[in-house]
Structure 1
C-alpha cells in the first residue's frame, strides 16, 4: 500500500502540491504500455494487446489519484522501483484481474456435482479421508461458498461424509472480501430459499441490506493467495477442481500449461469443472469429458 504520510507533498514520484487533485492524465505512451503489457503477461499470464490500452488507462486512473501521481509514465517508474514492486504490485494485479462471479453460477455444474460426482467419489473414498476440493480463481468467495453449501447438504444426508475446500485467487483485494463473507442481498438471489435460511445471516441493520455467510460455512473454506504463473503443488491429490471463467484471459499456450498443472494435481477418477465459454479442444490431456465442460481424470 502507498505511504499515506507523504501524499500531500511533492516528491520524486511526481506527486502534486498539497490540496490539489491531479487532472486527467495524458494518454499512456506506447513504450509505457508495452512495458506494462509485457510485465502483466509475465506476472499473471493475462494478455494485454494494444486494443486493451484504453481499458488499462481507465483502470489505472484510480491508482494515479490515490498516489497523487501526475501521469502514467510516473506511475510506471514508481511501479518498477524497488518500493513499487513491494507496495504497488498487489494493487496493479487487483486492477488488471477481473472478478466477475456469482452464487450458483452455471447451476447445472452444481446439479451434476450433487447428483453424480459426490455419490461416486464418496463410494470410492469410503470415508477414508475428507473429499478435497479446490476453487481455483475464487474471486470474492461466491463459488467456494456455493460449493460449501452443496457439500454441506450432501453431508447432512450422508453420515460420515466430510470435505475440505481450498479457495485461491491472485487478487488480495478479492480474497479480503471473500474472507469477510459479507454480500449485498441482491447478490444472493440465486441461492435457493432453504439454503438462504440455513447458511446466510442478515445484517441487524436491515437498511444496509447485507448478508453474511454463517460461521460454520466460513470455517469450511480456507483462502490462500496463488498465482497460476508460479509453480504450485499440493501435498495430497485433489478430488475436484473448479476453475471456471478464469483461463479465458490467458492465451492458448498458457491455458494448456495450466491445465497440465491441474491434471497433475487431480487424483485418478477426480473431476475438473471449467466455464461454459472455455474449451479443452485440441489439448493432449489425461481427461475424458463426462458432461458439458465437466471432465474426469483418467
Structure 2
C-alpha cells in the first residue's frame, strides 16, 4: 500500500508514487540519487515550486517537468541542488593548495585549477584569496581558476560575488581586510569580494554528467561534497572523467565524507581527502 504524506503540516498530497517520479526526474537531470530518507526534503523543496506556479497537485507539476518546460527545468534543478557552502571550508585543502602552487610555479609557466560544483562561489573565491595571499608573484603568473556548476541561477549569484556579511564570520581577519569589501548605505550588511579575486575566476554552467567542452589539463581539481549525492556507478564515471583531464602528479581534492575506495584507481591518497593522479 502506498503511504501518503498527508497531515495538518502537509499542504499537498505527496505519496510514494510522486516521490518515485520526482527522484527519477532528479536523477535524469542532475545525476543525484535521492534515497528514501530524502522524501521529506523533496516534498519541502518542490512544494515551493507548486506554490510559485499556483498549482495544487504534484501530478501536474511532474507533468510540467516531464514536458521539458524550458523555464521550469532550471528551477527544478536549483530546488534540489542548493547546498551549504562557505569560505575556506576544510581549510587544510587551502594550505596544501598554496604550497603546491608555489612548487609548480618553479617549473611551469601556467597553472589551471577547477572548482567543480562551485555552488554560490565561496570555494573558487577562497582558492583565489589563498593564492593571492600566500603565493608571491601569483598576480603576474598565468594562474586561472575555472568554476562550474549545474545551476545557472546560483552561478549568477556567484559571478556577482556579493554575500551577506555573516558569510565571512570565522574567516581570517587578514584575509578579510585584504580581499573583502564591506557595503554601505543600501548595501549595508553585505560584502563583496575584491575585483582582483573575481578576476582570477571564470564561471561556467556545466552538467558534470554530460560531455565536457574542456580541453585543458588541470593541475588541481576541487570536487568537494558533490559526489555524495551520486550513486556509485555515476561516481565511477565522474572520477574517470576527472582522471582523463589530469596528468600524472596532479591533485584532486574531495569532501570530508567522500573517498575513492572502490570507485577509482587512477589516484592515490596523499593527505586528508587529497589525492594524486598516478
> How much has 1:158 moved relative to structure 2?
6.0
Asked if the contact 1:169/1:227 (under 8 Å) is kept, the reply is yes
1:216-235 to 2 correspondences below 5 Å = 216-235=196-215
C-alpha separation in 1, matches of 2:271 and 2:37 = 35
Structure 1 or 2, whichever has the larger Rg, is 1
| Aligned with residue 121 of structure 1, among 98, 104, 110 | 104
Quick check: 1:44 aligned with 2:24? Answer: no
Asked if the contact 1:238/1:265 (under 8 Å) is kept, the reply is yes
> How much has 1:196 moved relative to structure 2?
1.0
> How much has 1:161 moved relative to structure 2?
2.9
Asked if the contact 1:133/1:164 (under 8 Å) is kept, the reply is yes
> How much has 1:31 moved relative to structure 2?
2.6
Asked if the contact 2:180/2:193 (under 8 Å) is kept, the reply is yes
Instruction: Report the more deviating stretch, 266-275 or 49-58.
Output: 49-58
C-alpha separation in 2, matches of 1:186 and 1:29 = 38
Instruction: Report the more deviating stretch, 103-112 or 182-191.
Output: 182-191
SS at match of 1:224: strand
Aligned position for 2:178: 198
Asked if the contact 1:132/1:164 (under 8 Å) is kept, the reply is yes
- In the superposition, relative to structure 1, how do residues 284 and 72 fare at CA in structure 2: closer, same or farther (>3 Å)? closer
Unpaired runs of at least 5, structure 1: 1-22
TM-score normalised by structure 2 residue count:
0.91
Aligned position for 1:259: 239
Unpaired runs of at least 5, structure 2: 1-8
SS at match of 2:171: coil
| Aligned with residue 177 of structure 1, among 157, 180, 187 | 157
Aligned position for 2:229: 249
1:90-101 to 2 correspondences below 5 Å = 90-101=74-85
C-alpha separation in 2, matches of 1:159 and 1:45 = 37
SS at match of 2:112: strand
C-alpha separation in 1, matches of 2:251 and 2:87 = 20
Q: CA RMSD in A?
A: 2.0
Asked if the contact 2:98/2:135 (under 8 Å) is kept, the reply is no
Q: Alpha-carbon deviations, 1:243-295, whole Å to 9, x = none?
A: 01111111111111111110111122211001111011123422122111101
Instruction: Report the more deviating stretch, 86-95 or 260-269.
Output: 260-269
Asked if the contact 1:233/1:265 (under 8 Å) is kept, the reply is no
